[in-house]
Amino acid sequence: MAVRILFLGPLQDLAGAAERMVEGPLDWPGLIRAVGPAVAAQLQDEKVNVACAGELLMDRSALSARDGDEIALLPPVSGG
């Protein structure tokens, strides 16, 4: 078991992969370290939303992921 980090939309190009598995537990500073510098720079932008275990986080810095959780990094959307 581990924490799965999903890179949505353009973030997957920056991460070089659609997802990455890391050891849990994982908090916000741990996530910043785990995603590499290119994605970390994007996470400075408040417009990148974060979901954990299927729930959107109102406060990203309160992230607390355990083994088995999925973290999704959701950059600004362009639907319709």
Partner 1 sequence: MIDARLLEKGFSAGQALAHFARANPDSGGIASFVGKVRPDGDVKALHLTHYPPLTLPGMEELARKAMERFALEGILAWHRIGFLRPGAPIVLVAAAARHRRDSLAAVDFTMDHLKSAAWFWKREKRDDGWHWIAPRGQDHADLARWD
Q: What CA–CA distances, in Å, run from 13 to 2, 7, 41, 67?
A: 23, 9, 14, 25
Please, what is the minimum distance in Å from the beta carbon of residue 45 to partner 1?
12
- Per DSSP, the three-state class of 49 is strand
CB 36 within 8 A of CB 12: no
Q: Can residue 10 be called a binding residue for partner 1 (CB under 8 A)?
A: yes
Please, what is the minimum distance in Å from the beta carbon of residue 48 to partner 1?
12
Q: Which of 17, 38, 56, 62 binds partner 1 (CB under 8 A)?
A: 56
Which residues bind to partner 1, rule: CB under 8 A? Answer: 6, 8-10, 13, 51, 54, 56, 70, 72, 74-80
